[in-house]
Structure 1
């Protein structure tokens, strides 16, 4: 058990060290407290959901592992989310998919509406958190030959258009009931496994379908806004993805919506952090960011405090983009305790943000402006060994969450008393 007096002592030392560089640790802590993460519910049950849990995962989605204690019911999933959120400092949001509706009778995806998410809204009110929405364009018989909104079959397109429209109503319901904007994130798996002849027509059909979904302008953006998520490729659509990055950043700009950047959806050599400032100056409402960890491809590993994450958070902080960026988690690993996955990923993201905030940013920008690259390199290198961990521990202490690895002890106890008894 970490002693609070040791945390406070280490923090005072760190505070003095950072002050020597002109960095105010108290200001950084207050800044971090304002950042809400959108925690994805699907880490808790491997994307089975409650609408058709017997349906095989499709759309290029796959999960590895079979760790015991998986959530099987809405109450089990929200209990696990409550446990995870209690171990992450700050107040956050939870993201859900269409297939997590809690219905009193069997419904198809296009029939699911706001009334089927009352369970989630009631729970969110009790927790004091917000909710984000994701229409589920996968794991359904109408995902035909890997096509949904870009399908050449009008009946298929019409079905998924109805799903998309319903998702907007659900997201608006979240925003109205919970008093904070709900981001409604669209990702479709449409594409071809092998080389297509016609690359234009599917994209034109996708544009028409999306325009049909969002044409109702009666939803107040203080309640809901749409985001559109591209991808380089996916399993089964290796040769052609309709919703590429270029497709969706252009769609978001021309429709005044959010563009979603998923850290796992690009080529492994691309620097995701470089894309924020390439997109935002051209307009649009902002960004939705999905923090994930690709290992060789979009493999949705649990986010860790690695260089890729640090580059992402440094870009958001140094360029003052946090107010224009919604940060969500998007990974699922069934080889480990699922609550631990949430906690590791969320805390890693917060740590990376804090480290980025603990820098003399304006001083370094001034040096760069005058071509003092020597100072820029020297200071940024020294910052890597500065005691930001002591500031992080203080942040956890002030938010009444476990410091260091103490949170793992709580998860182990919960695992023993709750999760392992489910099997």
Structure 2
């Protein structure tokens, strides 16, 4: 059977439950995923004075074809975007500035250093998001930045975050869509600290200074991202979930949840509904932790589906800003982007094709037998046929045929670098 014929048969199955498949596909088209640029070059960036990775960040593998210039990275992103249905966003770190061979310190970065990214984004109809880079730097060598006891070091990082917000504002003004500027810091201690309060007070004061200048949310949205532990900060992280959740609520900032930044028994999907009751918006970095914050490529597992279900069934597609954050150098990097992003989109489609209202009703009625039966039966409904049709309609490869394009690109481009 053709993709269209399979789709029509599957559509009939879903429509028996009152699910408007065409409406689901139209909704899906409007959901942008913020795709992280750093998968393409192993979080190296383009600073003139390139530093070794630090701050609890590690990339394993040495697959050929890593992007080593901004042009190569954008070319690779173009290829990945051609294989992913929908119109999306690109997420940049400050280390991806282009300074024409001139060494520019991070606290002196300007919007003009990202002009090429904006030009490329305009040509491709993409939004841009941003992150100050508070790791892989000699002034973060001891694992402290915004919470550092040295006032000069702390000021350096405060100023870096300030200029980063101005860069986010520039993106928003140029591209007509607000940039999410997200602050994550590696600050913490390897062993049990003697003082947990003072570093958090320093962080709070630093954030207050960073956010002192009001920037119109039409152009820039501020987010703060927590972590439970990291390499070198196993015992204590200054920017904990409780810290940033409290700070975000009190200061009208977005709290960003990274799926790899919690204890192994915690799930981000379980946090979303609570946070939506108290926050107008929240943000996600979707990754796949394997025993720790290992940033594996996102797969279509139960937790990814549950995250999507929480967003969809709570009518929060316009309130949850979805970004990705993984980096794997052991496989083809373009394939990694393609697999992870397609899976994020698949999970949203899966959630849109579930009879959520019916399942809520059964729960309220206490009819847990029927609720569980339906949940399990829908796991094997012909969701794949709907996905294939969506890909065909959006002009991207159906099923695994995208892999042939990646293989050709590897031979023709990546292996010649």
What is the TM-score with the length of structure 2 in the denominator?
A: 0.98
Partner residue, 1:300: 295
- Mapped partners of 2:49, 2:62: distance in 1: 16
Structure 1 residue 144, shift from structure 2 partner: 3.8
Partner residue, 2:390: 395
Contact 1:52–1:99 (CA<8 Å) still a contact in 2? no
- Mapped partners of 1:50, 1:181: distance in 2: 24
Structure 1 residue 78, shift from structure 2 partner: 0.1
Structure 1 residue 168, shift from structure 2 partner: 0.4
Shift in alpha-carbon separation, 1:62–1:227, aligned structure 2, 3 A: same
Deviations 1:66-114 (A, max 9, x none): 0000000010000000000110000000000000000122101111110
| Equivalent position to 1:96, from 73, 92, 95 | 92
Contact 2:93–2:133 (CA<8 Å) still a contact in 1? yes
1:354 aligns with 2:359: no
1:291 aligns with 2:286: yes
Matches within 5 A, 1:139-178: 139-178=136-175
Matches within 5 A, 1:14-33: 14-33=10-29
Partner residue, 2:177: 180
Greater displacement, 340-349 / 367-376: 367-376
Partner residue, 1:6: 2
RMSD: 0.9
Q: Secondary structure at the match of 2:221?
A: strand
Partner residue, 2:112: 115
Structure 1 residue 20, shift from structure 2 partner: 1.2
Q: Which runs of 5+ in 1 are unaligned?
A: none
1:335 aligns with 2:330: yes
Structure 1 residue 277, shift from structure 2 partner: 1.3
1:318 aligns with 2:313: yes
Structure 1 residue 138, shift from structure 2 partner: 0.5
Alignment length, in residue pairs?
Answer: 416
1:135 aligns with 2:119: no
Structure 1 residue 408, shift from structure 2 partner: 0.5
Partner residue, 2:366: 371
Partner residue, 1:206: 203
Partner residue, 2:230: 234
Q: Secondary structure at the match of 2:276?
A: helix
Q: Secondary structure at the match of 1:131?
A: strand
Q: Secondary structure at the match of 1:299?
A: coil
1:44 aligns with 2:40: yes
Deviations 1:13-57 (A, max 9, x none): 000011111111111111111110000000000011001463100
- Mapped partners of 2:157, 2:135: distance in 1: 10
Structure 1 residue 139, shift from structure 2 partner: 0.7
Structure 1 residue 280, shift from structure 2 partner: 2.0
- Mapped partners of 1:418, 1:342: distance in 2: 17
1:86 aligns with 2:82: yes
Q: Secondary structure at the match of 1:8?
A: helix
1:248 aligns with 2:240: no
- Mapped partners of 1:246, 1:119: distance in 2: 38
Deviations 1:300-330 (A, max 9, x none): 0000001111111111111112111000010
Deviations 1:111-131 (A, max 9, x none): 111010001000101111000
Q: Secondary structure at the match of 1:322?
A: coil
- Mapped partners of 1:374, 1:61: distance in 2: 45
Contact 2:49–2:103 (CA<8 Å) still a contact in 1? no
Partner residue, 2:73: 77
Greater displacement, 308-317 / 85-94: 308-317
Partner residue, 2:406: 411
Greater displacement, 208-217 / 270-279: 270-279
- Mapped partners of 1:180, 1:353: distance in 2: 22
Contact 2:54–2:141 (CA<8 Å) still a contact in 1? no
- Mapped partners of 2:200, 2:271: distance in 1: 23
- Mapped partners of 1:309, 1:164: distance in 2: 31
Q: Secondary structure at the match of 1:323?
A: coil
